[in-house]
Structure 1
Amino acid sequence: MKTEALLFAGVAAFFAVTGTVYGWLSADPAGTSALALAFLMAALVAFFLTVQYRRRGLRPQDRADAEVVDGAGPVEFFPPHSPWPITAAAGFTVLCLGVVFGLWLFLLGLGLLSHGVFGMVFQYANRSESR
């Protein structure tokens, strides 16, 4: 994951430099904010991959002396069923309708979306303790 982290850090640096130069030379707030958001998204992925590399170390794919059998075993835990993606999707739908129809619907959608996202994130939060 070290290679991927460096790749996304390079992408983030590119968007930071491009966004700075673009914002300085043009007076376009839309393009500048789009480049700033692209920088933040690439930096977030680079940060995540760096943290994963520091926690888990090199993967078998990253080592030159690794064999195919070193990567064998379970890939990861995938939940069998979950109501939270549908809850988050319904919340996002209501939130978008709230942009059109009013603040009260937007706030309801924001609450439902938050509930769905937190449910997805923390559904199996203590799964490692029960193994």
Structure 2
Amino acid sequence: MKTEAWLFGGVAGFFLLTDAGYAWWSGREPAGTTALAVSFLMASVVSFFFTVNYRRRGLRPEDRKDSAIADRAGRLDFFPPHSAYPALTALGVALLAVGVVYGLWLFIMAVGILGAGVTGMVFEFVDRE
């Protein structure tokens, strides 16, 4: 992650220099200056994230020259075999979108269906180890 931190640090520096030049050249036009400042901040946050992760965890297997593909392989997670909750959630989202068009009554029903679907997906296997 050290390489990614340097990469996004460079992107942040580019946006900082571009923002300073744009603010000086455009006579402090607020929209472009603000957009470039926000771009600088977003790239800085990503660079900070990668730097902190690198300092906490060190080199990843793909960062080392002597690593093998098996070094990155890990345990696969649990995938639920049969569940009706994803379909119920999709129905809730579809009805929510249609409820915006047709009325508040359908929107409120869709919020309930969506809430039931999301709650079911979150807590379906909560007691599984």
Normalised by the length of structure 1, the TM-score is 0.57
**Could you tell me how far 1:74 is from its partner in structure 2?**
3.6
* Structure 2 residue 34 is matched with structure 1 residue 44: no
2:30 maps to amino acid: P
* Residue of structure 2 in register with 1:14 after alignment: 14
Q: How many residues align?
A: 88
Distance 1:59 1:42, change over 3 A: same
Separation (CA, whole Å) in 1 of partners of 2:44 and 2:10: 9
Separation (CA, whole Å) in 1 of partners of 2:75 and 2:48: 25
Distance 1:21 1:48, change over 3 A: same
**Could you tell me how far 1:2 is from its partner in structure 2?**
0.6
Q: Which deviations, in whole Å up to 9, do the C-alpha atoms of 1:90-126 show, x marking residues without a partner?
A: xxxxxxxxxxxxxxxxxxxxxxxxxxxxxxxxxxxxx
Q: Counterpart of 1:58 in 2: which secondary structure?
A: coil
RMSD: 3.0
Q: Counterpart of 1:66 in 2: which secondary structure?
A: coil
Q: Which deviations, in whole Å up to 9, do the C-alpha atoms of 1:40-91 show, x marking residues without a partner?
A: 000000000100000000000000110111111047x89x89xxxxxxxxxx
**Unaligned ranges ≥5, structure 2:** 86-128
Identity within the alignment, %:
60
Separation (CA, whole Å) in 2 of partners of 1:2 and 1:31: 31
Separation (CA, whole Å) in 2 of partners of 1:74 and 1:43: 33
Q: Counterpart of 1:3 in 2: which secondary structure?
A: helix
Normalised by the length of structure 2, the TM-score is 0.58
* Structure 2 residue 72 is matched with structure 1 residue 71: yes
* Residue of structure 2 in register with 1:23 after alignment: 23
**Could you tell me how far 1:38 is from its partner in structure 2?**
0.2
Distance 1:42 1:74, change over 3 A: farther
The structure having more radius of gyration, on CA atoms, is: 2
Separation (CA, whole Å) in 2 of partners of 1:24 and 1:72: 51
Deviating beyond 3 angstroms after TM superposition, the runs of 4 or more aligned structure 1 residues are none
* Structure 2 residue 41 is matched with structure 1 residue 5: no
Distance 1:74 1:32, change over 3 A: farther
